[in-house]
């Protein structure tokens, strides 16, 4: 905890000896630990135990466990064409930076583009920094080209 609500690692980063100590301790921590790989007998015993639990209806195969698992499943009446978002597509307004769903038969207003066009427009941009402020510039934009801020001529 630090004053002002900010955190940091200056107590380690600003002291080379402390940094070496932390590095040495963290590298030694995982040494000598071997992961257990089950043998064929252990795998078979586990399989038989699961079959017995299934026959008896206990553990993960009990009625309570099955009912709880069924609650977590997606309801079949919300899939496919029964889903409220079925047949819709996201469109983006580049000017207002809004995102909205439109159905396939809706008329798309001026200034709204589909997701493919939106992400393609993002690819054609790059950052320019004039030393005081950073700008996101769009390749092929006449205003950008008039000011001489075209990629390769920075």
Mind listing the pLDDT tens digit for each residue in 30-50? 676 667 889 999 999 999 999
Mean pLDDT on 20-24: 82
Residue 140 belongs to some domain of the structure: yes
Angle at 137 between CA 134 and CA 138, to 5 degrees: 165
DSSP H helices in the chain: 10-13, 16-29, 40-56, 63-71, 115-123, 142-146
Residue 57 belongs to some domain of the structure: yes
In the prediction, which pLDDT does 79 show? 75
Residue 66 belongs to some domain of the structure: yes
Residues 106 and 135 in one domain: no
Tell me, what DSSP letter sits at residue 147?
Answer: T
Residue 133 belongs to some domain of the structure: yes
Residue 110 belongs to some domain of the structure: yes
- For residue 2, what are the CA distances in angstroms to 7, 8, 12, 18, 146? 6, 8, 14, 19, 49
pLDDT band at 152 (very low <50, low <70, confident <90, very high): very low
In the prediction, which pLDDT does 154 show? 39
How many structural domains are present in the chain?
Answer: 3
pTM, full prediction: 0.34
Domain span at 56:
44-71
Residue 8 belongs to some domain of the structure: no
Cβ distance 8 to 2 under 8 Å? yes
Q: How far apart are CA 77 and CA 87, in angstroms?
A: 16
Residue 146 belongs to some domain of the structure: yes
Residue 1 belongs to some domain of the structure: no
């Amino acid at each position: 905890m630090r004053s002002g609500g900010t955190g940091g690692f200056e107590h380690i980063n600003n002291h080379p000896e402390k940094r070496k100590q932390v590095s040495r301790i963290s590298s030694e921590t995982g040494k000598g630990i071997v992961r257990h790989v089950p043998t064929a007998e252990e795998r078979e015993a586990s399989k038989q135990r699961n079959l017995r639990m299934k026959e008896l209806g206990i553990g993960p195969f009990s009625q309570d466990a099955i009912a709880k698992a069924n609650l977590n499943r997606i309801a079949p009446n919300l899939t496919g064409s029964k889903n409220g978002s079925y047949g819709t597509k996201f469109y983006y307004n580049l000017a207002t930076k809004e995102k909205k769903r439109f159905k396939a038969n809706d008329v798309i207003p001026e200034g709204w583009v589909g997701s493919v066009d939106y992400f393609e427009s993002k690819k054609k941009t790059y950052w320019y920094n004039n030393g005081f402020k950073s700008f996101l510039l769009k390749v092929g934009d006449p205003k950008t080209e008039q000011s001489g801020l075209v990629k390769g001529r920075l």
